[in-house]
Amino acid sequence: MVAALPLTLTGATLRRQGKTLIGPVDLTLGRIGVTVVIGPNGSGKTSLLRMMHGLQRTADGHVGWSVADAIARERQAYVFQRPIALRRSVLANLMFPLRLRGASRAQAEARARAIADRFDLTAMLAQPAPSLSGGEMQRLALARALITEPEILFADEPCAALDGRATRQIEALLAGTAAAGTRLVMATHDMGQARRLASDVIFLLHGRIHETGPAKTFFAAPATPEAEAFLNGDIVE
């Protein structure tokens, strides 16, 4: 199977109501790693992820995969900051993406049960998904995104509003997912989390990539005064 990655953005620009939200952005995402997108509120983290995933169309430039767009779409998954579940059981939610892709009920259920085990959801399989706690819902959202074995997962603030224990659990699942070969691109406002998970960092300011590079270098010695100020917890505008 030909890989959908690398993903290449060339002058990619996103506009809404005459305002440039993102770009122009030039960027290549290779086949492995965890890219963490950081930046002040409103800098465009969510918009960049949505543009890469194709949820928002570029006004200028290009977001290009190594395979046709329709194939690339099938190889990606996206987890929203506030995940929404079907008003059905956890099991039905997990089976849904596979059933959409034509898997038989038996196949879908077997894979749903296997991933539920990995994501500590087995005890909740019969429970209505909307009744899950925040941490459980986020685990369900991740499991549902990964059940189709995407090549790349976009996750927007996957631990927003979760407590320490739930955050630790999600981080372990994300790290395991990346270690198993899924490309990860995530936005976070939690610098501890960025340091723990990132192999490389994109620091956004006003919708532009202000600084990008390997996480170790970025955190040890940011190249721009804005990134340094941001890491120090100063207000960066």
Binding site for ligand ATP (CB under 6 A): 16-17, 21, 39, 41-47, 189
CB of 54 to ligand ATP, least distance (A): 15
C-beta of 207: minimal distance to ligand ATP in Å?
7
Cβ atoms of 31 and 5 within 8 Å: the answer is yes
DSSP, residue by residue, 34-71: EEEEE-STTSSHHHHHHHHHTSS--SEEEEE-SS-HHH
* Calpha distance 82→84 (Å, rounded): 7
Helices and strands (H and E) in the chain: how many: 9, 9
Identify which of residues 40 and 64 has a Cβ nearer to ligand ATP in the complex.
40
Q: Least distance to ligand ATP from the beta carbon of 163, Å?
A: 20
Choice between 83 and 97, CB closer to ligand ATP:
83
What distance in Å separates the CA atoms of residue 75 and residue 81, rounded to the nearest whole number? Answer: 20
> CA 237 → CA 41, 44, 133, 166, 207, distances in Å?
9, 13, 35, 31, 12
Q: How far is the CB of 155 from ligand ATP (least distance, A)?
A: 13
Q: How far is the CB of 122 from ligand ATP (least distance, A)?
A: 33
Give the residue with the Cβ less far from ligand ATP, 41 or 232. Answer: 41
Bridge-based pairing state of the strands 183-187 and 60-64: unpaired
Q: State in angstroms the smallest separation of the CB of 195 from ligand ATP.
A: 18
Q: Which is nearer to ligand ATP, 20 or 122 (CB)?
A: 20
Residue 31 or 189: the one with the smaller Cβ distance to ligand ATP is 189
DSSP SS3 for 88 = coil
CA distance 150 to 224: 34
Whichever of 117 and 234 has its CB closer to ligand ATP, that residue is 234
Strands 60-64 and 7-16: antiparallel
